[in-house]
Amino acid sequence: MPPSFLLQNGIALSIALSIVGLAFALILIRKVVGADAGNEKMHAIASAIQQGAKAYLNRQIFAVSLIAVIIFAAIWYLRDGLTAAGFVVGAVCSLAAGYIGMMVAVRANVRTAQAASVSSHSALKVAFNGGAVTGLLVVALGLLSVGVFYLIVKGMTHGSVNAGKHAIDSLVGLALGSSLISVFARLGGGIYTKAADVGADLVGKNEQNLNEDDPRNPATIADNVGDNVGDCAGMAADVFETYAVSLIGGVLVGHLTVGTDAAVIYPFVLCGLAIIASLIGIGWVNFVKQEATAALVCGVAVSGIIASALFWWATSSIFGASLKIGALEVPSVNIFYCAAVGLIMTLLVVWITNYYTSTHHKPVRMIAKASETGHATNIIAGISIGNQATLLPVLAIAASIWGCFDLAGLYGIAIAVVSMLSLSGIIISLDAFGPITDNAGGIAVMSGLPESVRKITDELDAVGNTMKAVTKGYAIASAGLAAMVLFGSYVEDLQAFVGHKVSFDLMDHRVVIGMFIGGLLPFLFTSFCMSAVGNAAGAVVREVRRQITAKPGILNGTDIPDYAQCVGIVTSAALRQMILPALLPLVFVIGMAYVGMEALGGVLIGTIVTGLFIGISMTSAGGAWDNAKKYIEEGNHGGKGSFAHQAAVTGDTVGDPYKDTAGPAVNPMIKVVNILAILIIPIVFKAAVK
């Protein structure tokens, strides 16, 4: 194979590999759907979860589409038709990745429960393969949409002076479409799942002493539906936009700082080759029998090792011995080192988040121990762990930025981000594994399967909780790096547009004011998210109490709860209350843009810094609270029903909106702020052009 092959055909090869990823996703869908779905009672419960999830997503798509149409028209009028078309492509693919993945997950749950009656490894395979469908859809659709749209626009503008620049500018619209949909999906799904979960726990566990997923709890179906719309559809849309935005950021920075075809093609090739690595990692989990946590972590490690070898080959094939970045001649090995930093960051974040959220380590056990002395000490311990959990990820991010910038400037940082996100295929498989195993446990309880089956599903559910926390930490850490790249893109694009150097001096009051306003945004945003969950959960609590009072036979099994009523309450609440926080970033960015380009730059910096800390702290604390409860339920510190368990349930209900609503939603919010700032440069700053 000649050295120039990737340089000549890199984007086409990456598109072909994305199609391979889609083909494997279809194979896994057939494999999952073809598995044994259990008895009629299990099927009836699974059908109720499927119908609730589908009904919610259909209503969410309708609500978001109305807002998207308005934004589409505005982009077309203020920018151009190609950027508006990119917005539609990004929005549709983001929705598709979440919708299809979730519809597979709600079919994998009952099959996982049935497989648990055979063996733990059988259940692990079904649940992981169901999650792998979502993972492969995210990377395949992300790479396919960006690659095909880039080639189409470049072909349409072929012959013009700036054909490549037109194509890249249009990709910013695609990035905004995927990011905006991600904010709505993350928020709506997060509000839904945690309102149902908190409402079910407060009445079912604390007031009535019911077990998790007890069929006598009127909110239990809503709770299981929420796991899917939040952690499958919401997380898929979240990481789809991070993946697409990081790829687009790498392409944009390559064009602005290096200016060669090789620098633009390289990010596409990394993402394409990483699909091969992810498929090998997925195969490892399926064919190598290991304990659940070991199998999943080894799958990621194997993917990382394979990816590093492929990246080495790609780097030397595309760049040869060196490349020129500005006035500097940079050895191509430096670019590979930056890609390696991204892979190492992936493994580091997995390890760090696992340490702070797994039942096997000190932080979670410290919260469990604190629960013995009451609700307040549980909350204090959880907040403390969440704040402490910011240290190692932020140091790792800072070291990555410093190292990659010294190696290859802003382009080096962009490559590290692309490399880190390139393994999303297997990382998101871990995330979607969580709600599938959670639902499998619920179906096992509600359908009265033997205790041996429930033991397996409970063990997999505990692993799933850690994996969900790991992937949220991964998404937020990558967002911190990606936001740095997007801020650099904003500066480079702004200077290219206005024709002179723009500085962001801390002695400039406009920059400092922008930093204060930007730093405020994540706090205001998360406060609206938390309030939305609290309000909706309160409505669920009142409904569950009403049903138990009106039908006393529910508790002794002679009356059947009205599950649909709770599903309806959280559906309406989630759709109604997701709108305001989702639109906050648009209001802040557009408003501050008219204060000045320096102020807007300050907003981006402030949002990145405070958003990163809030996101990591909330997701880590929430995951630790959840698993502290699980650790107590395993028989430690008094076990189920003890005083410590009641305190842990309270901590978990506080942690629920932390880890599944507010914390993860900060990730796409940061990206929306940065992408929108880039998008409006030629609209707002025309007067500054020289």
Nearest to 496 by CA among 267, 687, 681, 263: 681
In which element (H, E) is residue 105 found? helix 81-115
Q: Strand, helix or coil at 329?
A: strand
Segment 517-546, tens digit of pLDDT: 999 999 999 999 888 888 888 888 888 888
When pLDDT is cut at 50, 70 and 90, the band that residue 1 belongs to is very low
What are the backbone dihedrals phi and psi of residue 642, each rounded to the nearest 5 degrees, phi first? -75, 170
Beta bridge partner(s), residue 331: 322
Average pLDDT of the chain is 85
**Is the CA virtual torsion 634, 381, 200, 42 positive or negative?**
negative
Percent of the chain topping pLDDT 90: 25
**Triad 331, 335, 337: Cα angle to 5°:** 105
SS3 letters for 135-167?
HHHHHHHHHHHHHHHHHHHHHHCCCCCCHHHHH
pLDDT of 18 strictly over 90: yes
Amino acid of residue 519: G
Percent of the chain topping pLDDT 70: 97
pLDDT value at residue 557: 74
409 phi-psi bin (left φ>0, alpha ψ -120 to 50, beta other): left
* DSSP letters spanning 63-91: HHHHHHHHHHHHHHHHT-HHHHHHHHHHH
- Contacts of the segment 448-451: beta carbons below 8 A, 24+ positions apart: 448/41, 449/42, 449/113, 449/116, 449/117, 450/117
* Cβ atoms 486, 603 nearer than 8 A: no
pLDDT value at residue 80: 81
* Cβ atoms 109, 464 nearer than 8 A: no
Report the C-alpha gap between 179 and 242 in whole angstroms. Answer: 8
Euclidean distance between the first and the last CA atom of the chain, given in angstroms as a whole number: 48
Q: Which range, 246-260, 314-328, 337-351, 568-582, is most confident?
A: 337-351
pLDDT value at residue 276: 95
Report the C-alpha gap between 128 and 235 in whole angstroms. Answer: 16
The range of the structural domain enclosing residue 479 comes to 5-688
**Is the CA virtual torsion 78, 81, 85, 90 positive or negative?**
negative
Report the C-alpha gap between 117 and 442 in whole angstroms. Answer: 14
pLDDT of 211 strictly over 80: no
**Mean pLDDT to the nearest integer, 27-55:** 85
Looking at residue 371, the DSSP 8-state letter turns out to be G
CB atoms within 10 A of CB 451: 8
Q: Show Cβ contacts of residue 354 under 8 Å, excluding neighbours closer than 6 positions.
A: 297, 361, 466, 469, 470
Which residue do the tokens 């940082």 mark?
413
Report the C-alpha gap between 412 and 414 in whole angstroms. Answer: 5
Give the C-alpha distances (Å, rounded to integers) separating 378 from 84, 235, 351, 363, 366.
Answer: 49, 28, 24, 12, 9
Which residue do the tokens 């990745």 mark?
97
Segment 637-666, tens digit of pLDDT: 988 889 999 899 889 888 888 988 888 888
pLDDT value at residue 161: 54
Q: Strand, helix or coil at 460?
A: helix
pLDDT value at residue 271: 94
**Mean pLDDT to the nearest integer, 483-489:** 80
When pLDDT is cut at 50, 70 and 90, the band that residue 99 belongs to is confident
**Mean pLDDT to the nearest integer, 561-581:** 83
Report the C-alpha gap between 257 and 260 in whole angstroms. Answer: 9
When pLDDT is cut at 50, 70 and 90, the band that residue 194 belongs to is confident
**Mean pLDDT to the nearest integer, 206-232:** 76
pLDDT of 228 strictly over 90: no
* DSSP letters spanning 605-642: HHHHHHHHHHHHHHHHHHHHHHHHHHHHHTTSTT-TTS
**Is the CA virtual torsion 97, 534, 382, 211 positive or negative?**
negative
pTM: 0.86
Nearest to 245 by CA among 129, 122, 143: 143
Counting Cα atoms < 13 Å in the Cβ hemisphere of 107 gives: 20
Q: How many domains does the chain have?
A: 1
Report the C-alpha gap between 639 and 578 in whole angstroms. Answer: 37
Beta bridge partner(s), residue 322: 331
Looking at residue 206, the DSSP 8-state letter turns out to be I
Report the C-alpha gap between 663 and 309 in whole angstroms. Answer: 34
* Cβ atoms 405, 485 nearer than 8 A: no
* Cβ atoms 159, 51 nearer than 8 A: no
**Mean pLDDT to the nearest integer, 6-12:** 83
* Cβ atoms 200, 540 nearer than 8 A: yes
* Cβ atoms 519, 607 nearer than 8 A: yes
When pLDDT is cut at 50, 70 and 90, the band that residue 310 belongs to is very high
Beta bridge partner(s), residue 325: 328
Report the C-alpha gap between 63 and 56 in whole angstroms. Answer: 11
Alpha helices in 157-234 (DSSP H): 163-200, 220-228
Report the C-alpha gap between 73 and 93 in whole angstroms. Answer: 19
Nearest to 134 by CA among 31, 25, 242, 225: 25
Segment 375-434, tens digit of pLDDT: 999 999 999 999 999 999 999 989 999 999 999 888 999 999 999 989 888 988 887 888
**Mean pLDDT to the nearest integer, 194-209:** 76
pLDDT value at residue 68: 86
The token pair that represents 96 in the structure block: 């598709």
Give the C-alpha distances (Å, rounded to integers) separating 221 from 51, 193, 206, 555.
Answer: 10, 11, 18, 16
Segment 356-391, tens digit of pLDDT: 988 888 999 999 999 999 999 999 999 999 999 999
No. of helices (H) and no. of strands (E), the chain: 23, 2
Report the C-alpha gap between 147 and 163 in whole angstroms. Answer: 15
